[in-house]
Amino acid sequence: RYLNADHNRFTGPVPTSLKQCDTIERIRIEGNSIEGDIAQDFGVYPNLRYLDLSDNKFHGKISPNWGKSLDLDTFKISSNNVSGGIPLELTGLAKLGRLHLSSNQLTGKLPKELGDIKSLVELKISDNHFTDNIPTEFGLLQILNELDLGGNELSGT
């Protein structure tokens, strides 16, 4: 149910057996040098509540499949080389409290639907390549405690 191997010196790809662990609830492998495609190397985890893959060498796009982890309350993939945009499927995670996507290569507009995640307490998406305006819907995030948008290409008021 729990995988905690954070802040070690692990290198190489994610073991393929992890993709079949559909009962896993927590994955913490941040702070290593693990590499691979973030969309291909992980499975669908219906019981997943906590995911931290930060500070590794992952690439690829964020898979819409993460939106199938309906109990997910923490999604952290900061400081990797992940590209593309934020899939709308993540905005359907009603329990999501912490979304950390900083220091990647993410692009596009910030989805206004992020404002629908009423449980968001932390939204950290700094140091990417997001463009356009900050969605006014972010003002609906009533319990948001930390918003970090720095180091993007945002404009407007």
pLDDT tens for residues 20-45? 999 999 999 999 999 999 999 999 99
Domain boundaries, the chain: 2-148
pTM, entire model: 0.96
CATH of the structural domain 2-148, one choice from 3.40.50.2300, 3.90.1170.50, 3.80.10.10, 2.10.109.10: 3.80.10.10
pLDDT tens for residues 88-121? 999 999 999 999 999 999 999 999 999 999 999 9
For residue 156, what pLDDT is reported?
Answer: 83
Vertex 124 angle, CA 128 and 149, to 5°: 55
Cα separation, 11 vs 58, whole angstroms: 11
Closest listed residue to residue 53, CA positions, set 101, 107, 96, 117: 101
Closest listed residue to residue 108, CA positions, set 132, 125, 88: 132
> Cα dihedral sign for 146, 36, 26, 90?
positive
What phi and psi, each to the nearest 5 degrees, are found at residue 145?
-105, -30
